[in-house]
Chain A
Amino acid sequence: MEELIEKLKKEIISTLNLTDISPEGIDIDAPLVGEGLGLDSIDTLELLVLLEKEYGVTVPDVNVGRKVFSSVRALAQYIQENRPKD
């Protein structure tokens, strides 16, 4: 789980071009959208692409999406629970 969180942080930074933030600078329990990392709704769409591309995971609707993007930890948990078992 820790490994996944570290990997996720780096991927979020690179996908969203967060050039002024380092992985250590991300609070894994802070909200992603609005406050916290201050992402917008288009950023969340980019993260949805990342989820599907890297982890084969999709988000069925907006309500699940809100929970998934509530923090990096929540995101990691969702991936862990839903990624296809190889």
Chain B
Amino acid sequence: MLQFILRRVLLLIPILFGVSVITFMLVRSLPGDPATVAIGVDQRITPEQRELVRKSYGLDQSKPVQYVKWMQHVVTGDLGKSLRTKRPLTTELKLRLPVTVELTLLAGLLGIIPALSVGVLAAIKRNSAADYAATVVTLLGISAPSFLVAILLILLFSYHLKWLPPVGYEKFTVDPVKNLKGMIMPAISLALPFAAVMMRNTRSAVLEVINQEYVRVARAKGLSGSRVLTRHILPNSALPIITIGGIQLAGLLGGTVIIEQIFGLPGLGRYIYDAIRNRDYPVVQGVTLVLATIFVTVSMLVDILYAVVDPRLRRA
């Protein structure tokens, strides 16, 4: 077992090395560079001066040298500084990671509760008016992209009702009420499409189980409807719901990019979006590496967990 774990951990090294090389090359394969974007189109500048701006960003060195220099810092835990803002990545991550995590979790929470209850209800009352109503609503939810929902929410709650500010972020630890006021609209924008998908999945997962023989047996032996639901139907339909829920929740992280932009949240999605746009190489590389590390570590832990549960997997 110990050997298995060790092997999985060692495997991380080549994976992360690969990720670092690929992001390094990819971000440099985009046309233009940080100097190009910074100089823009309204600055009169000679080719020599353009070269000096590139030099000030360290881009005059060859790519292998740039890569090695970057790696030398990364292995000591220093992710470097943004070329544009000159702020260290670690400072930015401390500010931004909690914002994106809070937004994702809040959206997940807001989405999952109605999704599960409506999904189960729609399955039990299949082909009823309630089921059709739920289907129509979820279809709308699936078809409406989250940015559209975001704009509609702003129009309703900021323009007309004037209840909520369209932008404005405060740390939860500083002012929880203001934090939630700023987070609620973005969270709902993300939660709606998520809830719609989850509701459909819940409905079909429950429907699948409802027609199984063991459910009919349970009914036949005289168990009450609610007991059949809680003891037989829900536990057996939970697995596909959780699997898809996990994937969908990860998808929410991607959706934060545009939502953070609209609501002016200082999250990670917005950070990397701006960095790609501005060709801010160290930021794109650093953030990608951090996200990749989180991702592979989590999958490694899951692998190990599977192996704990199922001894056959340890030989893999």
Report if A and B associate in a common complex.
Answer: no
Q: Give me the interface of B with A, judged by CB distance under 8 Å.
A: none
